[in-house]
A and B are shown apart, each in its own frame.
Chain A
Amino acid sequence: MATPGALPGSTSGGPEPGGTSTAAVPYAVELRGITKRFPGVVANRDINLRVRRGEVHAIVGENGAGKSTLMKILYGMYRPDEGTILLDGTPVTFRSPADAIEAGIGMVHQHFMLADNFTVLENIVLGSEPTRGGRLDLGEARRRIGEISERYDLGLDPDVLVETLGVGDRQRVEIAKVLYRGARTLILDEPTAVLVPHEVDDLFGNLGELTREGLTVIFISHKLDEVRRVADSITVIRRGTTVGTADPKTTTARQLAEMMVGSELPSPETRESTVRETPVLRLQHVTVTTPEGRAVVDDVGLVAREGEVVGIAGVEGNGQAELVDAIMGLRRLSAGTVVLGDEDITAWSTRARREAGLGFIPEDRHRQGMLLEAPLWENRILGHQTRPPAVKGHFIDRRAARADTERIMREYDVRAPGPDTLAVALSGGNQQKLIVGREMSATPRLLVAAHPTRGVDVGAQTVIWELLKDARAAGMSILLISADLDELIGLSDTLHVMLRGRLVATLDPARLTPEELGGHMTGARTAAGAA
């Protein structure tokens, strides 16, 4: 082990928790002195990692610390410049992910790669379709999937369409897909980023089943509480190298955080109220129905005032996305009104709403927030096509757009070579900072921020929180939709809970714990409270 941690809980490869293993048993996965250079930068330097068979091994570190590069090396996407990979004590060389899969390594990506209009069965076999005599043999596949689902308690129905599944189920499909290909070691990249608390619990239950059956799980995360809950051992990576290992039982989150970044974790808390009287957004009886007539947003009414952050909590899929769409004019209301300031904007186009002072940080920045294949300066224009500085009359002002993009990059700490860089080349955090900077630059009256810090690293998260706080203090009204309960409680002045399309509770974030909020979100609390 390269750098023995100086912390109490850290070990240097000595006796491990649950350490029934002896020196004779080789590690399931072992990395020795892995170094990976890209032109001009060393992404991984002298990485050492030892993972026992049958354990959940967490790799923690800030985004940008080199975790993903490391995982890509292990998954055969990159080849290390130095160092060796050993599986069960045998050195291996991967030329492609296919080699890694062959060797029993599977990857569950943060962003699911499932075909919506295929069934679970079809998605799982996709790419390794079982054939008999050249014909698709789904019977055999169905049998094996049933077996996998049974053994690891995944609870999959092979014949439902993936588009009907929730996030947690989709993740289980991804896991089943990897298991179907015979993986003995699973790499899970930020698996909890998209999950709500009870789904996280389910996932951790599944991971337990996996390890009980002798499978090995490598768990990448920067959520330290979760890591401490689920991991059997932890390796910390900072700035491209392994800085130590830790025992989750004896190490506190704070200590881990210090290992990761060298200082305390940031807090989203804002306590001083800056709420003013003037309402900015008023929703009255807002109802959105599906084509089949089911109300996905049901009679929602709320007010957001100047200087106020109104939080919407809820388990994902309870109508938050549709509510955001309704406010932004992306979805037609079947009833109700949306009032911005003094104007009824219910019938307005999205463009008119934006021009009237609506800012938008979308939930899925790749889908709604960015043109990935376009340069940053064009992304600066997106959503602001009709307003200066990027536009002059009907023409695009390229120079001004570039200049303003540079300003945003400077002021909002967007790390990129320049305004001509393609958006796709930026990390998630930098993309998000660009979006936030872009929306803030237009000084909207109301900012609709859907999951503003999802999938971004701690550093960017702090920056974004600070920006939201500053904007609030300056009188901006913010509608915050999030799955991060700390974020919701910490930032909101008013907190609504959304369940099955309705606002079922209005809570005071100053006196609320995440656990209580979680209860409201699942409906348990509300029922009790109403009784």
Chain B
Amino acid sequence: MTRLRRVGLALFAPVLAVLVAAVISSAVMAALQVDPVRVFQVMFDFGSTPDEQVTALVVILNRAIPLFLAGLAVAIAFRMGLFNIGVEGQYRLATIVAAAVGAAIVLPGPLHVLVIVLVAMAVGALWAGIVAVLKVTRGVSEVISSIMLNFIALGTASYLLTGPFRGSAPGASIVATKDLPESGWLPGINGVFSALGLVSPPRELYGFLPLAIIAGVAISVLLNRTRFGFDLKASGMSPSAASASGVDARAMVIKTMLLSGAIAGLIGLPDLLGKTHSYTTDFTAGLGFLGIAVALLGRNRPGGIALAALLFAFLDRSLVPLQIASYPASVVTIIQGTIVLAVVIANEIARRIARRQAERSSVLPAAAGPGAGGGGPGTGPTTPADDTDERQGAQA
């Protein structure tokens, strides 16, 4: 089995999903008497001046960073078969507490940022930990409890914002926590553009980007290269086999949810540290739910999630030019929706193809050395094709 083939197979599903989504949404657009070709042209039009183009890039990247983190948080739990629907509440609560703590302390620059990041991760982890504890001790489905905890988290965040953490002047239309002191800001990194010989756009590229990349790589290594990741993956594939192999299922649920929540805690930070510097009534909401779609599209792999986040960010940016070009912004909504559906379909197709290939490839060596067994019972030839009945039956 060549590496190329495996990579190809891994890419197959998302590419298929995007294609299917493009076709379906084109059909819908055509039905609405909107020219799909023109729509896609507008979506890919990043502007005429280098300034505009780089700005478009920054807009997409800035949007992709929180989406990536949200997808990552969801995917960690997904990988072990846990559905952390509560990412939304986890990051909202984490962000407001981190904003309040960050505003209340004064520390030298990097340390200040570090404290804010750690506080956010801790709060997210704790909130997700409630879900885990309920599941482990009381058997409460994490889907239910995390949805419920979302409501509680949003209510709590709103209480904190208007109560103890209120920093805005009375009478301000937007209620906000106190602004972070400048030492708690994460400056933009537009330097990369100059370094790459591009124009430095007027918009700041979030300084959180490298941190998000580090988080992605760390999670990738953790999931794929460590014992913990193996236990997590095994628990996701077969809880019974995992516990028979010595994985403590309860501890695993707790650890996984804590990790997922910790990453969820990061979601609000790119905006908080790079733009708003406070949590406000107007703070970006809904990223936790988008994260589910992003994780699905990225097939729960950090690399895939990064691509999915970029795609979603790209679609989001195209909302504005589409409206300027007098196209309905709902086109983008249609595409996003169809992508999510197409992903589910494409994943299933890819999984079946992968399986069929595996079955086929395992038939081959039996053909290569069939006579070797020669009929002696001790070395009886075993054609693996023979044991496929239960699988076929399961599909039938």
Contact = CB atoms under 8 A, between A and B. Distances in A.
Do any beta carbons of A and B sit within 8 angstroms of each other in the complex? yes
B7 to A, nearest CB: 13
Nearest to B251: A349
Interface string A315-338: 000000000000010100000000
A398 B224 CA distance: 10
Given A68-B389, A396-B229, A428-B387, A40 B363 contact: yes
Q: Which 9 A-B pairs have the closest CB atoms?
A: A459-B380, A351-B246, A41-B367, A427-B387, A383-B245, A64-B383, A262-B375, A368-B244, A425-B362
Contact of B241 (A107, A110, A367, A413): A367
A265 B380 CA distance: 11
A232 interface: no
Contacts of A25: none
Contact of A265 (B244, B246, B377): B377
A27 B235 CA distance: 51
Contacts of A351: 246-248
A238 B246 contact: no
A64 B386 contact: yes
B231 interface: yes
A462 interface: yes
Tell me which of B226, B361, B394 has the highest count of chain A C-beta atoms within 10 A of its own C-beta. Answer: B361
A521 B383 CA distance: 35
Interface string B377-396: 11111111111111111101
Contacts of B238: 367, 370-372
Interface string A212-254: 0000000000000000000000000011100000000000000
Contacts of B365: 415-417
A410 interface: no
Interface stretch (A14-22, A47-55, A374-382): A374-382
A416 B381 contact: no
B244 to A, nearest CB: 4
B355 interface: yes
A371 B391 contact: no
Contacts of A72: 388-389, 392
A427 to B, nearest CB: 4
Tell me which of B1, B246, B368 has the highest count of chain A C-beta atoms within 10 A of its own C-beta. Answer: B246
B377 A330 contact: no
A328 B227 CA distance: 20
A354 B242 CA distance: 13
B380 A458 contact: yes
Interface size class on chain B is 35 or more
B225 to A, nearest CB: 5
Contact of A67 (B375, B384, B386): B386
B24 interface: no
B382 A415 contact: yes
Tell me which of B224, B233, B243, B370 has the highest count of chain A C-beta atoms within 10 A of its own C-beta. Answer: B243
A240 B391 CA distance: 21
Interface in B221-260: 224-231, 233-234, 237-238, 240-248
A369 B381 contact: no
Contact of A97 (B354, B364, B396): B396
B328 interface: no
Contact of A421 (B231, B358, B373, B389): B358
B360 interface: yes
Nearest to A257: B377
Given A330-B244, A417-B1, A395 B226 contact: yes
